[in-house]
Amino acid sequence: MNRPKPILRESSNGARFAEAAASLTEIGKGFHARGWVLGTSGNFSAVISREPLRLAITSTGSDKGSLTPGQFLEMDEAANVVRGDGRPSAEALLHLAIVRGVAAGAVLHTHSVWSTVLSGSHASQGGIALEGYEMLKGLEGVRTHKHREWLPILENSQDMIELGERASITLRESPGIHGFLLREHGLYTWGAGLQEAKRHVEILEFLMEVLVRSGAAISS
Ligand SMILES: [Zn+2]
């Protein structure tokens, strides 16, 4: 009988990278259509290998409305590019901090109007409490609208090493959160896999839009 040839790690990584890049491209185009990642804003990643750690991630400067799988890179645990052309997103270190901190399989980052408004208006409170909404049940592990979801707000920075360290601390100090905001910048959320992470973007963006439209951004 013919024995199946052993699959080399490199070739299986290549297949996983191609699959992740194709899925992230579709997700990114959908987010652009919703107005959550206009221009080159936002970035997306998916873990394609844990040992050693490898992520597929958007390259810097990718226009999200015309995203293609060719605009994704494979990077290692130190944000070095190991496949593809270009540089990873400036916020690659944040993706790595989240992947390590909560063992996420995918990390999605959006720059919506709603997250920008709310993260500014609620910055002095250090976060936003989401409670009483049926849509909360779309967050992994949440079973009731009575759940109180805390969405921390971190001060924005262009120093990604420092910001990555602060994100790691937030993840340690607030176990069970599904995302966080960067002040007047945007949302970071994640999931065990890509579909879960995408769902979390949709749920959190919906809830933030509800809060702003219902006047929460003004009254606080
Ligand atoms: Zn950003």
* Tens digit of each residue's pLDDT (9 = 90 or more) over 117-161: 999 999 999 999 999 999 999 999 999 999 999 999 999 999 999
User: Rounded to the nearest whole angstrom, what is the distance from the C-alpha of residue 43 to the centroid of ligand 1?
Assistant: 7
Strands across the sheet with 72-75, in order? 81-83, 72-75, 54-58, 43-49, 106-110, 186-191, 179-182, 148-154, 127-131
Separation of alpha carbons 97 and 105, rounded Å: 12
Q: Is the dihedral of CA 118, 62, 19, 78 positive or negative?
A: negative
User: Rounded to the nearest whole angstrom, what is the distance from the C-alpha of residue 182 to the centroid of ligand 1?
Assistant: 8
pLDDT tens digits for range 45-99: 999 999 999 999 999 988 999 999 999 999 999 999 999 989 988 899 999 999 9
Report the amino acid identity of residue 180. F
Separation of alpha carbons 206 and 16, rounded Å: 30
Burial of 11 (0-12, 13-18, 19+ CB in 10 A): exposed
**Which residues touch 195 (CB under 8 Å, ≥6 apart)?**
none
pLDDT tens digits for range 15-52: 999 999 999 999 999 999 999 999 999 999 999 999 99
User: Rounded to the nearest whole angstrom, what is the distance from the C-alpha of residue 109 to the centroid of ligand 1?
Assistant: 7
Strands 186-191 and 106-110: antiparallel
User: Rounded to the nearest whole angstrom, what is the distance from the C-alpha of residue 173 to the centroid of ligand 1?
Assistant: 22
Q: Is the dihedral of CA 7, 9, 10, 11 positive or negative?
A: positive
Q: Is the peptide bond before 52 cis (omega within 30 degrees of 0)?
A: yes
User: Rounded to the nearest whole angstrom, what is the distance from the C-alpha of residue 45 to the centroid of ligand 1?
Assistant: 13
